[in-house]
Amino acid sequence: MDLSKLKKRPSYPFETIAVAVSFSSRCKFLLAEAKRICDACDSSLLLLHVGEKTSEKESNLDEMMDSVGINPKHCRIIWMEGEPVDTILRLCKLNIVDLLILGALEKENFLKFYIGSIARSISRKAKCSVLLLTSPNGVPQVFRKFVVNGVENPKTIHTINTSLYLAKKLRAKEIIIANELDLSGVAMTMADQSTAPESKEIIKGITEKSELNLQQVLEQCDTGNIKISDKILKGKQGYAISKYAKDKKVDLLIVNSPDTNLNLFDRIFAHDIEYVLADLPCNVLIVHSRV
């Protein structure tokens, strides 16, 4: 494989979509969702299984593929033994994967939060976009309403454009661009130095500046016929948008990939994407823009 193709590769279109096959009870439903997304995006499908290749597994996979309409001639299957996270990440890199689809539990127990499930560990380290499907169940999922993070970050315009690309492919109807403002620190800093009206005016100015910056980003995007609205959320980044997505019962939450590799300390004192990964509010797409 020509790995030079990965350098500054656009986050879309999704030319190659990979699915991690685990043979869980929901695996067939995960494959069905992957096929639907592949068909919509006109993508190549790659199935990855980390573990021993056996005749029983091959037969099981053939049956699942046949039941959801995946033609073996139109996809590739890779079997490889090794440590699951590192092996999947390596295979995605070698095969120039643009989107990796994983199944994920909505809530992890305390032990798994610190050790990290396979899906969440991959989400933190992947160099391609990752789609976490919380509950594939045999009923085709409808992605009609997206919430996208609009935080001030160089990655954000790529995340928004990727969201618009996917929305058009899946015929979504509405995208809400939500920018999170954590004003608690600002309020504390001003508490001893400003009067209440002054503090209120300063916070208003910060909010208006954030709204203007978001509008300037949206002006650079091709929104097409999709309804776009923006929302300012006050609260910690990651937590505020996750709660909003859950409260609004959206179909897909789309966020930037992590800026840095997170360590155990970062995860004990959760922030940004860790709030989303700890308690998935809905299906989540983490866009890796490779910038």
Q: Are residues 244 and 126 in the same domain?
A: no
pLDDT band at residue 204 under the 50/70/90 scheme = confident
Residue 259: predicted pLDDT: 75
Q: Indicate if the pLDDT at residue 43 is higher than 90.
A: yes
Q: Are residues 154 and 278 in the same domain?
A: yes
CATH number at residue 98: 3.40.50.620
R_g of the chain, CA atoms, integer Å: 20
166 touches 12 (CB < 8 A) = yes
Of residues 238 and 210, more confidently modeled: 238
pLDDT band at residue 246 under the 50/70/90 scheme = very high
Of residues 263 and 276, more confidently modeled: 276
Q: Are residues 217 and 132 in the same domain?
A: no
Q: Indicate if the pLDDT at residue 145 is higher than 60.
A: yes
H/E element, 121? helix 118-125
Of residues 189 and 24, more confidently modeled: 24
Angle at 70 between CA 161 and CA 95, to 5 degrees: 55
pLDDT band at residue 269 under the 50/70/90 scheme = very low
Q: Are residues 122 and 186 in the same domain?
A: no
Of residues 134 and 148, more confidently modeled: 148
Mean pLDDT of 7-36: 91
Residue 100: predicted pLDDT: 97
Residue 119: predicted pLDDT: 83
Residue 166: predicted pLDDT: 96
30-39, 81-90, 261-270: the lowest-pLDDT one: 261-270
Q: Are residues 120 and 215 in the same domain?
A: no
- What is the side-by-side order of every strand in the sheet holding 44-50? 75-80, 44-50, 16-20, 99-103, 129-133, 283-287, 252-256, 145-149, 174-181, 227-234
Q: Which of 83-87, 105-109, 137-141, 150-154 has the highest mean pLDDT?
A: 83-87
Mean pLDDT, the chain, rounded, equals 84
134 touches 104 (CB < 8 A) = yes
Mean pLDDT of 231-255: 92
Residue 170: predicted pLDDT: 94
Question: Among all chains, which residue has been given the structure tokens 């976490």?
Answer: 132
Rounded to an integer, what distance in angstroms lies between the CA atom of residue 24 and that of residue 277? 20
Q: Are residues 158 and 47 in the same domain?
A: no
Residue 264: predicted pLDDT: 47
Residue 167: predicted pLDDT: 95
- The count of other CB atoms within 10 Å of the CB of residue 5 is 10
Of 140, 162, 194, which marks where a domain is finished?
A: 140
Residue 78's domain comprises 1-140
Of 124, 140, 156, which marks where a domain is finished?
A: 140
Name the DSSP class of 11.
Answer: S
Name the DSSP class of 192.
Answer: T
Q: Are residues 9 and 124 in the same domain?
A: yes
pLDDT band at residue 20 under the 50/70/90 scheme = very high
Q: Are residues 107 and 161 in the same domain?
A: no
Rounded to an integer, what distance in angstroms lies between the CA atom of residue 139 and that of residue 36? 12
Of residues 39 and 261, more confidently modeled: 39
pLDDT band at residue 261 under the 50/70/90 scheme = low
Rounded to an integer, what distance in angstroms lies between the CA atom of residue 156 and that of residue 256? 7
Of 97, 114, 140, which marks where a domain is finished?
A: 140
C-alpha torsion sign, points 241, 88, 161, 29: negative
Q: Are residues 146 and 259 in the same domain?
A: yes
**Residue pLDDT, tens place only, 62-102:** 999 999 999 999 999 999 999 989 999 999 999 999 999 99
Q: Are residues 267 and 152 in the same domain?
A: yes
Share of the chain above pLDDT 90, in %: 50
Q: Which of 30, 284, 73 is nearest to 166 (CA)?
A: 284
Q: Are residues 284 and 233 in the same domain?
A: yes
H/E element, 33? helix 27-41
**Residue pLDDT, tens place only, 96-123:** 999 999 987 655 444 443 334 788 889 8
Rounded to an integer, what distance in angstroms lies between the CA atom of residue 2 and that of residue 248? 43
Mean pLDDT of 212-227: 80
Q: Are residues 209 and 136 in the same domain?
A: no
Q: In 115-132, which positions are buried (b, 16+ CB within 10 angstroms) versus exposed (e)? A: ebbbbbbbbbbbebbbbb
Share of the chain above pLDDT 70, in %: 83
Of residues 107 and 205, more confidently modeled: 205
Give the count of domains, the chain.
2
